[in-house]
Structure 1
């Protein structure tokens, strides 16, 4: 159940469907799983964040925003408590015009959009149609579908399965170690085939695919911290060589590790 403060906050967002609701704060108020009748744009100003949707967790790198369509249950978790999220909740009267508005997506922020999002800190709360700010905020929404930028693809499956949850926790805390299906099966007292089937049937991903994805997600976190070399990150992510790490990273992101951080912070244009 939501507490009264949370209920009021969510109610205020949706109170005037034709308005834009603007919120700048830390951690999206630590909201539990929830949804809105409005579409949502959330930009994480520095640091890294995760958005949890059903049985998947998507990573939101620095200099990226997430678009959340109306009605989709979610919650956002920010890794750095000092990070500010810029949240814009939009009317949905024109959402049918573009498929973009109806799908969850995580996209890079170019210079133009970055400056526009920063400028929104001049406002907060519900912005009505007759206010000058409304025209500016509408312009942000209008340019999103025409930028032609592909959504960021990284999603880490999650589950409430009581047998898998302690295994996933262990993997998250020990991903840099030598991990095999055999030694994890032995640690948690189940057969290799049983564990393999459990991963596939519960999360539609193999044990090795999950481990690979987890390690790349952790590597992305380290890359965005910008204080380690690519070789250091490779070994800290559980890879025995830079070549194998680079290959796995490229397979999942279509970028070399050395280029990924540059992509996040380089000036981009429409």
Structure 2
């Protein structure tokens, strides 16, 4: 797929380099891919990474690893607090570990945070033999060791003509008491048909999708508002913080309170 924009054209010019770009500006690019593996760290605020089949939310103090050749585009919401740090790594050794060939979102520990921050010393291509290359190569080398638990906080997407309006409806009414019965009735289709649409197209049940949607919306509220967890639980359709916390833990393996501490 042809590349677009200024720095996107330049990333793959030097196949053996690490391309470094740190920015606060919001950029809008179409779906694209690189020959290099991409690490995008969200220092503050919130960002989204969209793929042909799903959309992922990247919270503050987390990074996403996007393997080479994987189509995607990033969306950064308007926020003074949102800064992304982007490192594009040579891919000729990616088969040395399964990590490099699998997309994932990971929390950043203090060691990795310091290394990513330190990489701001360089800009654009850093080639073998250049000052900083060995440091950046070491950063890539430690990723499989420090990134063992990917956080599955993303929503599948579709352009299916029958299911897309349903997903749009859920996104607009996620705080309400939604059930398979009520939603199927709203769209004038049977519960069995709606259930099959979710299972066959999104490969998850209606209930699983709704849980994921509410957790994603909860994370957005944690990052973009000053609401406490009780308020967020209520506004994501749960009657108590305990119910919200239970679902949040099921999907992220963290309690919301612990997750909130990690992003501030």
**Could you state the TM-score of these two structures normalised by the residue count of structure 2?**
0.92
Q: Give a deviation string over 1:17-59, Cα, whole Å, max 9, x none.
A: 0111112224673221111111111111201222222312222
- Given the superposition, is the C-alpha separation of residues 2 and 81 from structure 1 closer, same or farther in structure 2, using an over 3 Å criterion? farther
Which residue is 1:163 aligned to?
A: 162
Which residue is 2:16 aligned to?
A: 18
Q: Give a deviation string over 1:164-198, Cα, whole Å, max 9, x none.
A: 11221121121111212222222222222221211
Which residue is 1:29 aligned to?
A: 27
Distance in 2 (CA, whole Å) between partners of 1:180 and 1:45 is: 37
Tell me, what secondary structure is at the counterpart of 2:198?
Answer: helix
Distance in 1 (CA, whole Å) between partners of 2:6 and 2:60 is: 30
Note the C-alpha offset of 1:8. 4.9
Q: Give a deviation string over 1:239-258, Cα, whole Å, max 9, x none.
A: 11222212111111122222
Provide the aligned C-alpha RMSD in A.
Answer: 2.0
Tell me, what secondary structure is at the counterpart of 1:30?
Answer: coil
Instruction: Report 1:100-111 matches (<5 A).
Output: 100-111=99-110
Which residue is 1:246 aligned to?
A: 245
Distance in 1 (CA, whole Å) between partners of 2:117 and 2:225 is: 23
Note the C-alpha offset of 1:213. 1.0
| One of 38, 43, 46 as aligned partner of 1:45 | 43
Which residue is 1:95 aligned to?
A: 94
Check whether the contact 2:38–2:67 (CA below 8 A) recurs between aligned residues. Answer: yes
- Given the superposition, is the C-alpha separation of residues 2 and 28 from structure 1 closer, same or farther in structure 2, using an over 3 Å criterion? farther
Tell me, what secondary structure is at the counterpart of 1:131?
Answer: coil
Note the C-alpha offset of 1:216. 1.0
Q: Give a deviation string over 1:49-81, Cα, whole Å, max 9, x none.
A: 222223122221110111111111111222344
Distance in 2 (CA, whole Å) between partners of 1:178 and 1:148 is: 37
Which residue is 2:137 aligned to?
A: 138
Distance in 2 (CA, whole Å) between partners of 1:48 and 1:70 is: 23
Report which stretch shifted further, 238-247 or 223-232.
223-232
Which residue is 1:217 aligned to?
A: 216
Distance in 1 (CA, whole Å) between partners of 2:144 and 2:199 is: 35
Report which stretch shifted further, 71-80 or 39-48.
71-80
Tell me, what secondary structure is at the counterpart of 1:58?
Answer: strand
- Given the superposition, is the C-alpha separation of residues 28 and 74 from structure 1 closer, same or farther in structure 2, using an over 3 Å criterion? farther
Which residue is 1:58 aligned to?
A: 56
**Could you state the TM-score of these two structures normalised by the residue count of structure 1?**
0.90
Which residue is 1:268 aligned to?
A: none
Which residue is 2:75 aligned to?
A: 77
Distance in 1 (CA, whole Å) between partners of 2:72 and 2:25 is: 13
- Given the superposition, is the C-alpha separation of residues 81 and 243 from structure 1 closer, same or farther in structure 2, using an over 3 Å criterion? closer
Tell me, what secondary structure is at the counterpart of 2:19?
Answer: strand
Which residue is 2:152 aligned to?
A: 153
